[in-house]
Amino acid sequence: MEVSSEFVVSCPQDTVFEFVSKPSELAACIPGCSQLTELGDDKYGAVLEVDVAFLKMKFDVTVHLVEAKSPNLLRAVMDGKPKALAGKLTGSVVLQLSEVDEETTHIQYVLEQSITGKLGGIGQSVFRAKCVEMGNLFAENLRAALLHPEEASS
């Protein structure tokens, strides 16, 4: 399943890239992401909590940053296992930044994910809707963190 979206932030491209290149800053903008741990070699562990339909799920995920080209590209791969159900979550995400003008950055992301096991039986349309919702929240959180960094760090 692939989900993509784009949005604009009122912040210079270099500043946005510097922010999203810091895993702790980026993770704070991802809805349901907690317990970020550096594992070494650009790999990170985290817990991702997601409410899908009638289920509340927690995933132990590992994210590997596989490409970073300043100031316009980040690419990561991930895999995870739910804490209570059988199944597996794998995927990749590409975050592309482009300058609109000196003070505005266009952000586009593409998330590809695969869900197997009992989780896959819930239905891709339900997961797609949740991914879109989480993407919209991510955009809101990222905008807020970039516009008001003093509030995001407190």
pLDDT digits (tens, 9 = 90+) for 59-79: 999 999 999 999 999 999 999
CATH label of the domain that carries residue 64: 3.30.530.20
pLDDT digits (tens, 9 = 90+) for 135-150: 999 999 999 999 876 6
pTM here is: 0.86
What is the band of 120 on the pLDDT scale with cuts at 50, 70, 90? low
What DSSP letter does each residue of 59-118 carry, written as one string? EEEEEEEEEEETTTEEEEEEEEEESSSS-EEEEEEEEEEEEEETTEEEEEEEEEEEEEGG
pLDDT score recorded for residue 125: 65
* Structural domain of 90: 2-152
Question: Which amino acid type is present at position 69?
Answer: K
pLDDT digits (tens, 9 = 90+) for 96-118: 999 999 999 999 999 998 878 76
**Burial class of residue 37 (count of CB atoms within 10 Å of its CB; 0-12, 13-18, 19+):** exposed
Q: Is the pLDDT of residue 54 over 80?
A: no
What is the domain count for the chain?
1
What DSSP letter does each residue of 102-136 carry, written as one string? TTEEEEEEEEEEEEEGGGGGG-HHHHHHHHHHHHH
